[in-house]
Every structure is written in structure tokens, then in C-alpha cells.
Amino acid sequence: MGKQQSYSLFGPDNENEAQKKGIEFKDNSYEKQAKSHKPALHISGGEIPEAENKMKPDLLDFSYSRMDLYRTCPMRFKFRYVDKIKEKPKGFFFFGSAIHSALEFLYKGDSPVFPSIDEVGSAFMEFWLSKPFQLQGFRSAEESARKRDEGLAMLREYYRINEKEFKRAFLTERIFKFEIDGLLVTAISDRIDYLGNGKILITDYKTGKDIRRTPSQLYMYQKIAEANPELPELLAQKLGQKEEKLTISQMLYYHVPTNKKYFFERASDNEIKTFWDGALKTAEEMRAEKYDPTPSEHACRWCDYKQYCPIYGGDGTVHEYEKENANADHGAKNSNSSSLESGKQEIMPENNPEASLLQLLNRYGDLEERKAVIEKEQEILKQRIGSLRLTSGDYNTGRYTADISRKTAWKAESRKDVITLLNDYGLYERACTLTMSGIISLLNNMDTPAIFREKLRAMLKKEEQNIIETKKNSI
């Protein structure tokens, strides 16, 4: 097949073009540019990537998200970070990650020429298409498409407003991990700009509700940035500037949906000390394994761990097979495939006394529900692919080779009415087992009454069907 022309994701036909991109056009010029500047993974909802602490196991893994979750509910913290059960995918987290990924692509690099708006859109689309809607955290493919278009429009407006002020950032989406006060602290920064004279500006992009950051999060940004020994080293490497220590000048909270900016001045040393003393106290409670639940209407409403929680009838413990099943359900093992797709059997021993009948039935029902969701999305995708009126042949997506063909088939508008008609004409026995090909043979059989054939023909219609067979490409 010939090479496809480039397209604008922000033109009037971005719906169809984006669909094409998802099918075949991996040699698209924007796609190449997005891949050549592939952004680092942005962690949804401020989450920090998990990393085993092998070098200093006596240090406690610590981050703002861990501290905040522990203070919200120690029991929920236990399920998330001790038992390591992933929370369910949430669409607003995925949406925020996609926006962050596109903004990183925009500002990262050393070239004085910034990416075009279409190239930023391609970077956003590459991230968006990396997961099916279920693992994005949306309820349907339609909801995912709506949020996708909302994100593209948001980026277009951001680009328009800020284009004249674009400048390269000192650091973007940088993940730091270092030791401080007996803690192995991990932090991620959306953007850091060097202002000169040892001063930096930290920018935090937000895509949710237009609310100000809590002081504790701003204090954490300042504490970690100013205590981080890696920042002066990076400054010397990237910009050739030598400073023994970098200090915060301001912190900027940028609300992308409204393009509002909120500036915060550097907190006093006394404010930071009070904050950090409280953080160390929380860390000691984590070390002491104090995991009592602290229920509240807001926290419990959005909790994914109710089935294990003693407040809701659980005993606070999670068995190994439950961990395996829960993480498989949430797509934790492989973000591009479910256990149904991989064919891997779930770990739930047949003779395990803890695997009760109710658990087994619940698990079976969950799999049936997930299968139905997957089949529904496949049908929607098949219809969208069919609307592109592609010629029959093989289409290489990079990961898969798809064989697309079309055929004409008969379909009964009401199978019940067809069976009734057959019964009326003395064909009751055949009506119970008759296939569509057999029904069509009756339609073409001149030995059957003409009025019967006329009525039968009125109940049938021809329609074109898309046949899509995919085969995974070898790496």
C-alpha cells in the first residue's frame, strides 16, 4: 500500500483521521516526530513509579502521594503499597497523563524550533491510543473519544495562548529519587525553569477542577527541590551554570482547561520545618505499620478496596490469589492486554479452602462481564473501520497484521417472525434448526408457495459485513 499523506489532528476531519491513524498509518510524518521525541511516562494522579529499594532496604519509600494516601486512610495505604493491589484505572487520571505527555513533548529538547500544534497533537494521540478505553478508565469507547477531542481542543487553546512565550525548560517530567532523613524520597516535577542566580521556578500543570493546591503539596515541592543534590549537577551539565544550591523563587500552578495561572511565593524556612516534622511523624507511623481504617464519606465513596476492608465486612487481609486476580482485573500486569487476551489462567487453586463458592462465582461473573465489554467494543471498532470503506487486503499496524475483507450476508430482522412464518406453512420442524443458508435455499426454491417466498423475502435484508482477522507480528 502507498504511503499516506500527512494530516492535521486539529482540522475539521480529525475524527476520521484519528481513526485512520489507529488502523494503519504508522509512517505518518507526525507520528514519526512524536516517536522520535517519545515522552517519559507521566504518572496518573501524581502517582510515583514503583521501584524496588534494593540498595538500601532499611530506608522507607516516601513520596507526597504515599503520605497523602496514608493520611487519608492508613488501611487504604496498606492495600495499595504494602499488599500492592493496583487501584482501578480512572479516566481523569489518564486524561491528565495524556495532557502532561503532550506538554512534555512540546517543551523537551534543545532545538530553538518548537513542535507545531499538529506535532503536539500527534504526541497526545500516540499516548491516547496506547490503551483501550477500559484500561484508560472510561466506561465506553464513545466516552473515551469525547475526552480525546476535549484534550486536543485544550492543547490547541493552550498553544494559541502561550505560543509567543515558548521557551525551553530546564527540566520536564523529571523523576527524582534520593535519601533524606532516613527516607528514600521519590518526586516527579512537571516542569522546572532556571531563572538565574541559583533561582528556579517550578510549574505544576493541573487538568481537573480549578482549585488551588493545598499548602502541604507546595511545601513538599519546595522541600524536595531545595534538598535535592541532583539539581545543581544537572544545572551544570545542561546549562553550564555552577551553583552549590538551588532555591525556589516561585511556584506556578497552571490550570490547563482554563489557562489560569496561580503563583505562590517561596515559603519561609519555619513553615517548611513545621511541614517536614509532620511528614517525618507520618513516616514513623508507616514504619510502625499502623494501618487502622479511618472511614469518611468522601474517602470511602471512591475507594477500590471495600471488599477487603473491615469497615465493610472484610478482615483487612488480602490473599495471594486475590492480589493476582485484582491486579489482572486492573490491567496492572500488561496495560495492553487483559488476562482474557493473554490466555493466562488466574491463580485460584481448585482445592483452596479460601476459594469459596461465592468468590468463584463472582470471579466467573466478572470475566463474563469483561468479555461482553470487549466484544461490544470490538463491534464498535469494526463498524468504524467499515465506515472508512477500505479496500480488502492486509494492513500492517506495527503490532498486528490485519486482514480486512468484506462480504454480503442475509440477515433476518426478526428471527421469531421467520420461525412463525415457517410454522404457518408446515415447516415447524425445520424452523427449529434451520440456518440462514437453509432459509435462503427456501427463498430460492420454486417448489415453495410464491406467497411464502414473498413474505419471507420481506423479512430478510442484505447487508455488507466486515471480516477482520488479526495476527500479532513477531518482534
For residue 192, what is the enclosing H or E element? strand 183-196
pLDDT band at 112 (very low <50, low <70, confident <90, very high): confident
Instruction: Render pLDDT for 173-219 as a digit per residue (tens, 0 to 9).
Output: 888 888 999 999 998 888 999 999 999 999 999 998 766 667 788 89
What is the spatial distance between Cα 268 and Cα 271, in angstroms, rounded to a whole number?
5
pLDDT beyond 50 at 443 = yes
Average pLDDT of every residue of the chain: 77
Domain ranges within the chain, ordered by starting residue? 14-165, 348-390, 393-472
How many beta carbons lie within 10 A of that of residue 328, not counting itself? 19
* Three-class SS state of 296: coil
Q: What's the DSSP call for residue 434?
A: -
Residue 37 grid cell: 521525541
Instruction: Render pLDDT for 392-426 as a digit per residue (tens, 0 to 9).
Output: 888 887 778 888 887 777 777 777 788 788 788 87
Q: What's the DSSP call for residue 169?
A: -
Instruction: Render pLDDT for 275-312 as a digit per residue (tens, 0 to 9).
Output: 999 999 999 999 999 999 998 888 888 888 888 888 88
User: Which position has the higher pLDDT, 371 or 234?
Assistant: 234
What is the spatial distance between Cα 410 and Cα 363, in angstroms, rounded to a whole number?
38
Q: Residues with Cβ < 8 Å from 251, sequence gap 6 or more?
A: 201, 202, 203, 204, 218, 221, 222, 263, 264, 266
Q: Count H helices and E strands in the chain, helices first.
A: 19, 9
Q: Identify whether the C-beta of residue 189 lies closer than 8 Å to the C-beta of residue 171.
A: yes
What is the spatial distance between Cα 385 and Cα 146, in angstroms, rounded to a whole number?
18
Phi, psi of 337 (to 5 degrees): -155, 150
What is the spatial distance between Cα 88 and Cα 307, in angstroms, rounded to a whole number?
14
- Pairing type for strands 400-412 and 460-472 reads antiparallel
The residue behind cell 496561580 is 262
pLDDT at 325: 55
What is the spatial distance between Cα 192 and Cα 129, in angstroms, rounded to a whole number?
28
Q: Residues with Cβ < 8 Å from 323, sequence gap 6 or more?
A: 83, 84, 85
Indicate if the alpha-carbon torsion angle 99, 103, 108, 114 is positive or negative.
positive
What is the spatial distance between Cα 388 and Cα 163, in angstroms, rounded to a whole number?
35
Phi, psi of 185 (to 5 degrees): -90, 135
Q: Identify whether the C-beta of residue 134 lies closer than 8 Å to the C-beta of residue 176.
A: no
